[in-house]
Amino acid sequence: MTHESTAVGLASAYSNATTASGDWWRDAVIYQVYVRSFADSDGDGIGDLRGVRSRLPHLARLGVDAVWLTPFYVSPQADGGYDVADYRAVDPLFGDLADADELVRAAHALGLRVIVDVVPNHTSEQHPWFRAALAGEPGARERYLFRRGRGAEGELPPNDWESIFGGPAWTRVADGEWYLHLFAPEQPDLDWTHPEVMAEFDSVLRFWLDLGVDGFRIDVAHGMVKADGLPDIGRGAQATLIGSEPLPFFDQDGVHAIHRAWRRLLDSYEGPRRRIGVAEAWAPTSERLALYVRPDELHQAFNFRFLTCPWDPEGMRTVIDESLAATTAVGAPTTWVLSNHDVVRHVTRYGGGPRGLARARAAALLMLALPGSAYLYQGEELGLPEVTDLPATARQDPAFRRGRRQPIPTPRPEPDPQPAPGTRPAAETGSVPEAAPQTAPQAPETTGPEARTHTRPAAETRPVPEAAPQTAPQAPETTGPEAGGGVRPEAGSGDGPEAESGGGGDPGLPTAPEAEGQDGLRDGCRVPIPWAGAEPPYGFGPAGSWLPQPDGWAGLSVAAQTGDPHSTLELYRAALELRRALPGLGAPEAGGPADPRGMRWQSAPEGVLLFTRPGFACTLNTRPDPVELPAPGRPVLSSAPVETDGRTVRLPADSCTWWTP
């Protein structure tokens, strides 16, 4: 017989023990809402809190446990709200504090918890603290990382650190000092050794906890502490090293004291709704990442290794095993995620078109069958692909023009038989030590409050709406239709000659490959999602949308997919319902670190993954052709129709199937 791709008549009551015990987060499915692209209530083309509230029934019907909201605080929107000017107020673009309060209450009434972003690594340049620092208020600069420059006149940056968005991580102000910004110049980094910084964020967290939120997703949770002395790295293209090699500005041991203090604060809020902290952290190994979720630290940390894993069964199994071993060893659940607002949607990463969609559906079932908690990014339940043909004029990612950066000016190194801490000799890095800048340093600009230098083109410093700066580089690009999990569109993907040459900057500016940051194409995963209708904006709001939606998305809308048993939306709904109903799914119970909740790998043909959990089995066929094997049980859900006679099964290409005895 052929088993259809979705299941019907499933039980709806929770059976996972963690839900009853109050540790809801251990097996929760959490849905990320990118606020500006979810739903627009007032017709300005930008999503808002009232729009989110109006669409909460969709999330309740989908079957998720919690909603994570991206920043909606007062902000100049230089980076989509991740440049915060007031942490205790709602930006008028998204509503007001009453809207936030009503959204939280409405979510709780539907059984949904609410997690909000907190951005502690940096503030906006318009934050009162930074304005005071530029104005010369005594002691104000001590809250940030201001330093004197190098060179005879201090005309060179204090070290060789690069912005994640490309170019130098330092900007010079009118009096000659430089300030650190690991992201955009509009996002100056805070100095977390200053006691006022810790006290301020304790107050901010309490403000939102008192309003009723259920926890925080901590932006750049690995970044607040920098290595003593701010040592040089001695290498370029530093954004490509994030998550793979130690860096003096990320994953320093000192961040854990901050997270332990926040865990104590979260635990002080008693009641039936346990409050949690989620680390958005990049670390070189699974073991380093597990440090963020030790019993006295945060509750969860994003597992980006799973997200960046290519469509390869051995690679997937390795990531799953290592992730489970590392987190179970410290008593924490593993989290799984396939897409977010900073990476190419996984339909496109897995090859795009019908094959990419088939793989994306299969990967979703794999993810939801694994022990621990899962994160869904808005629109993935609709099978949305990446929008790769946005015009250059529409793109708003602040990293978009990084391909036109000027070289980072650095002093010519002096001979030194004892390299400074944090640097690597040329023999180790395989590169020649940086010499004098190729272009002579220019005098600092003295116009505007920032008084930035000419090391950054003026076109790159203008405020533009954008979102989280925290993503690390994606897996290496591959080519052709078989591109795996790390594939991303080429720089010129449908964007015309500007994008083909590096992205919309002045063609006369020299490039600096060693100073490159993110690819600048994150807008493609942030296009507002379709709700209903035959043409844009597909029910997103009364008018248009801040990023143009494709003409062919009518069939991908919530309305179009609802009730279609073969649709991606109904597949997700069925999977989440089954995940609640089956006792073998959800969070790991106490037990050996190598075998969380009885998960065991079983022998399977090449290209197929097969694992079992109590009363449950999961098969993933990564091959481009069907494969036959003994049936592990009775199929209850599949990403594509499977053929079985009860004894053997023919698994479709690029598919995942759930089984019960």
Contact 259, 296 (CB under 8 A): no
Instruction: Tell me: pLDDT of 417 over 50.
Output: no
- Residues serving a catalytic function are 219, 280
Tokens of 311: 């469509």
CA 476 from chain center: how many Å?
17
Confidence band of 522 (pLDDT split at 50, 70, 90): confident
How confident is the model over 357-373, as a mean pLDDT?
97
With CA atoms as reference, report the closest residue to 105 among 214, 30, 28. Answer: 214
- State residue 278 phi and psi, 5-degree precision: -120, 125
Q: What is the C-alpha to C-alpha distance for residues 166 and 517, in angstroms, rounded to an integer?
A: 4
Confidence band of 23 (pLDDT split at 50, 70, 90): confident
Q: What is the C-alpha to C-alpha distance for residues 543 and 537, in angstroms, rounded to an integer?
A: 7
Burial of 497 (0-12, 13-18, 19+ CB in 10 A): exposed
Q: What is the pLDDT of residues 458-506, one digit of tens each?
A: 333 333 333 333 333 333 333 333 333 333 332 233 333 233 223 333 3
Instruction: Tell me: pLDDT of 410 over 80.
Output: no
What is residue 508's predicted lDDT score, i.e. its pLDDT? Answer: 32
DSSP-assigned letter for residue 5: S
> Sheet holding 215-218: strands in order across?
300-301, 276-279, 215-218, 113-118, 66-69, 29-33, 373-377, 335-337
What global pTM score does this model have?
0.81
Query: Residues, the chain, total?
Result: 661
DSSP string covering 560-621: HHTT-TTSHHHHHHHHHHHHHH-TTSSS--SS-TTSGGG-EE----TTEEEEEETTEEEEEE
- For residue 627, give the 3-state DSSP assignment: strand
DSSP string covering 180-247: E-SS-TTSPBB-TTSHHHHHHHHHHHHHHHHHT--EEEETTTT-S---TT------S-GGGGTTTS-B
DSSP-assigned letter for residue 144: B
What is residue 7's predicted lDDT score, i.e. its pLDDT? Answer: 44
Q: What is the pLDDT of residues 591-602, one digit of tens each?
A: 333 445 589 999
- Between helix 568-581 and helix 353-369 the angle, nearest 10°, is 10
Average pLDDT, the chain: 82
Helix H or strand E segment including 108: helix 97-109
Q: 305: which residues sit within 8 A by CB, 6+ positions away?
A: 286, 319, 322, 323
Tokens of 290: 């597990």
Q: What is the pLDDT of residues 154-177, one digit of tens each?
A: 999 999 999 998 889 999 999 999
Q: What is the pLDDT of residues 418-469, one digit of tens each?
A: 333 333 333 333 332 233 333 333 333 333 333 333 233 333 333 333 333 3
Q: What is the pLDDT of residues 104-153, one digit of tens each?
A: 999 999 999 999 999 999 999 999 999 999 999 999 999 999 999 999 99
DSSP string covering 514-560: GG--S-S-GGGG-SPPP-SSSSTTTTSSSS--SSPPPTT-GGGSHHH
Confidence band of 583 (pLDDT split at 50, 70, 90): confident
How confident is the model over 297-321, as a mean pLDDT?
95
Instruction: Tell me: pLDDT of 658 over 80.
Output: yes
What is residue 596's predicted lDDT score, i.e. its pLDDT? Answer: 52
Contact 474, 443 (CB under 8 A): no
What is residue 588's predicted lDDT score, i.e. its pLDDT? Answer: 46
Q: What is the C-alpha to C-alpha distance for residues 658 and 367, in angstroms, rounded to an integer?
A: 12
With CA atoms as reference, report the closest residue to 473 among 431, 516, 505, 513. Answer: 516
Tokens of 370: 């694994």
Q: What is the pLDDT of residues 614-655, one digit of tens each?
A: 999 999 999 999 999 999 999 999 999 999 998 999 999 999
Q: What is the pLDDT of residues 370-401, one digit of tens each?
A: 999 999 999 999 999 999 999 888 888 776 76
Strand partners, 620: 609, 656
How confident is the model over 520-541, as a mean pLDDT?
94
What is residue 473's predicted lDDT score, i.e. its pLDDT? Answer: 33
Q: What is the C-alpha to C-alpha distance for residues 140 and 347, in angstroms, rounded to an integer?
A: 47
Tokens of 506: 């002045």
